[in-house]
Amino acid sequence: MGQSSGQSSPGGREEYLGDVSRPLSSLLTSPCGNPAASVTSASVFPRVVGGHVTSAEYFPWTVAIHDWLTNNIVCGGAILTEHLVITAAHCFHGHPQASLYYIMAGKSKLLEYESWQQMTFIDQIIMHEGFNASSYENDIALVRVKTPFTLQTPTVRPVCFPASTHTLPAGTLCYLAGFGDTLGTGTDEVLNYMRVPVIEDEVCARQDFHGVDFSPAGTFCAGYVNGGPDACTGDSGSGLVTKHTDGLFYVYGVSSWGSGCGEARRPGVYTDVLHYISWVYGKFLIFNRNLPFVG
């Protein structure tokens, strides 16, 4: 949690050196972070683990990344622009070929055809150059799609991306939606969401929590000390969002890893988007100059 990190990645690649004090949305023409339905009035039938059933109108930036051969969900993600999705690097570890995946957006029911759904293939996967598959350090990636999303439909809209001046204090309530495993607490084939608070780094690093496995440099924890709602298998890469005072939703976390799902003193660990603002900006601006991503 906190401000954007330095100017170069652990992998040695230079990051964007310009002004990141304004949200990425200020460079875009399409509105962001404005769901067609208010998340506060979303369905609250107990079902992500320990979450609630919802629909795409409440979380229209949510996408499901599928394996092309099996149709199984690999990960989730969040729409940033008509061409870009933010997700986790570990989703593609060992299989970084874009042709292996496709993306579904606007979905509420995974196994049913919905007239408003959008499907697109992946053009390029941009994993962070410093991603470590053992420690999950730098667990962030961008995906560029072949066919751009049609935005500002009720079920497909981008989430806002924060600026370096933004912060995410402990205790902030955040939301995550996905089609991941519910471990019997609900139905995996429908979109579920949860609301969890950000946990202090000092608490997450305690030996009775994640201990030395947790690194506050680039990650943070969110969840409940006594267990409860949590991301699980299939939710990796999904965006953890919170609502700003401007009424818009911004993505601050990317679901990265955890120890079990919904267990006491084992909150979910999220890639800290604020730590990677320069990296995301750099890739975004390269794309807007119609150059291939370096990744």
Amino acid identity at 62: T
pLDDT in tens, 48-91: 444 567 889 999 999 999 999 999 999 999 999 999 999 999 99
Please return the burial class of 219, using the count of CB atoms within 10 Å of its CB with bins 0-12, 13-18 and 19+: buried
CA-to-CA distance for 77 and 61, rounded, in angstroms?
A: 8
Average pLDDT over residues 126-152: 95
d(CA 225, CA 196): 11
**Mean pLDDT score of the chain, rounded to an integer?**
82
Q: What is the pTM of this model?
A: 0.85
What does CATH list as the number for 60-157+277-289? 2.40.10.10
Domain boundaries, the chain: 60-157+277-289, 172-274
Domain 60-157+277-289 identical in fold to domain 172-274: yes
Whether 236 is catalytic is yes
Catalytic-role residue among 4, 25, 108, 236: 236
How sure is the predictor about 233, in pLDDT bands with cuts at 50, 70 and 90? Answer: low
Q: DSSP 3-state assignment of 76?
A: strand
Q: Is 115 known to be catalytic?
A: no
Reported as a single tens digit per residue, the pLDDT across 280-292 is 989 988 876 554 4
Question: Does the pLDDT at position 230 exceed 70?
Answer: no
Q: Give tens-digit pLDDT for 159-198.
A: 999 998 999 999 999 999 988 654 444 455 789 888 899 9
Give buried/exposed letters for 115-144 (b at 16+ CB in 10 A, else e): eebbebebebbbbbbbbeeeebbbbbbbbb
Instruction: With H, G, I as helix, E, B as strand and everything else as coil, classify residue 265.
Output: coil
pLDDT (mean) for 106-111? 90
57: its two tokens:
């109108």
Can you tell me the distance from the alpha carbon of 196 to that of 30, in angstroms, rounded to the nearest whole number?
28
pLDDT at residue number 218: 95
Residue among 90, 128, 210, 275 flagged as catalytic: 90
Catalytic residue from among 108, 139, 166, 181: 139
| Mean pLDDT value across residues 7-19 | 44
Give Cα separations from 101 to 76, 122, 124, 138, 251 (angstroms).
12, 6, 10, 22, 23
Superfamily (CATH) of domain 172-274:
Trypsin-like serine proteases (2.40.10.10)
